[in-house]
Amino acid sequence: MKNRGQEGAPFEVLVSVVIMTFVIIIALQAMKVVTDEQCKASIQRAGSDLKTKIQEVSKGNDTTLNFDPPKCFSNKKETIQLKTLDDQALCNFYCGGTRQHCLMFLFDAEDFRQYTCLESASVLTQFITQDASTCEERDGYKLQDFHSQIPRGSYVLVNKSGSDNVFPKICAYLRVQGA
């Protein structure tokens, strides 16, 4: 009778190992899903913060922006920029209403794409980089055009058109590393 229990022990251990392996695999998949969702929420929050700061500077108030969305997706092909959409259907989908054009925050990585509507910012909002008479140089800062690329970092956003202008002209200064 004692031998019969010992014969089944290796099989029971094998079954236990297989079950434990499946449990670990499922737990790791669940953790990956949770991590990805947290990352997506952080990227959405970065877009929302950018939207708030652009609204603030469009009203005539200079402001600072710490822009640092997480790098949890493949950043080899990552694009972060403001994009003007000229498609009424897409503008209606993302912003609501009946707009022909809209200004969007775009985060595009190989594994994830996020659009955030900047509905209160005009599509004609300009991020000036070439006109030195409008955006004077600042020590330790570099002018950045948000329509071409928004690198991670600390910014000073300055409205050069005043609060009464419908189409704001914004100088976005990126703090240079080490400055």
CB 47 within 8 A of CB 116: yes
Instruction: Please give the pLDDT value at position 61.
Output: 81
Distance CA 119, CA 97 (A): 10
CB 72 within 8 A of CB 78: no
Distance CA 135, CA 171 (A): 6
Domain ranges of the chain: 2-78+121-175
pLDDT lower than 50: segments of the chain:
1
State the pTM of this model.
Answer: 0.75
Using CA atoms of 91, 95, 100, 105 in order, give the dihedral in degrees to the nearest 10.
Answer: -70
